[in-house]
Amino acid sequence: MYSRPVLFDQSPTLVDSFSLLQGRRKLAVLFDESGREQVEALMKNMDKVPTASLLVSKDTPSQQISDFVAFQKMGTQICIVAKWDTAYHAFSLAVDEGASEEEIQTLIIDQPKRFIYCMKCFSTSEIPSNESAVQCQCSAHLEVGPFFSKLRKGYIGYPFIPVEQRQTVGS
Ligand SMILES: [Zn+2]
């Protein structure tokens, strides 16, 4: 089953610096105020490559971003440089307009966010970036699985019984 790509902390689109992807001849850059410096560096490094850019913020209407992406021609690479929330939003709109992960590079200015999908209460919630186990809002202890579900937009969280509780139950 095809699940449309979403931006997550292990997304293959995440980069530290932009490079021209194979077969791409143009760049379409979506950036927020925090990414301005990186965009200027990008323009300098790729001054032979035709580039269109759109400054976005959390107040930018989705339609404006969608139109910008839809207007781009075949062979265009989408570059997103922004803080996580704006990048996430722009990424999903670009995908809605038919962009694939192979055509997108994403540079995050702050930190990627990470989400877990609880196999007990079936809800998705944000988790710290470095924890291997967390407690869900339903109080279940969850092991952060290696599998990211594009459908659930989070890592699959497997319920487990912590050692302390196991001892209580067992005695
Ligand atoms: Zn839960």
pLDDT in tens, 54-104: 999 989 999 999 999 999 988 999 999 999 999 999 999 999 999 999 999
Is residue 34 classed exposed, middle or buried when 0-12, 13-18 and 19+ CB atoms within 10 A define those classes?
middle
- Rounded average pLDDT over 115-131: 96
pLDDT of res. 1: 64
103 CA distance to ligand 1 middle (Å): 35
Query: pLDDT class for 110, splitting at 50, 70, 90?
Result: very high
47 CA → ligand 1 middle, Å: 50
Q: End-to-end CA distance of the chain: give it in Å, rounded.
A: 46
Pairing of strands 104-108, 141-149: unpaired
**pTM of this prediction?**
0.88
Each domain of the chain, given as residue ranges in start order, spans 26-108, 114-170
Determine the average pLDDT of the residues in 19-40: 95
Distance 162 CA to ligand 1 centre (A): 15
pLDDT at 43 over 80: yes
Average pLDDT across the chain, whole number? 93
What pLDDT is stored for residue 169 in this prediction?
Answer: 57
CATH code: domain 26-108 is 3.40.50
Task: Kindly state the tokens that stand for 109.
Answer: 């200015």
Find the radius of gyration of the CA atoms of the chain: 19
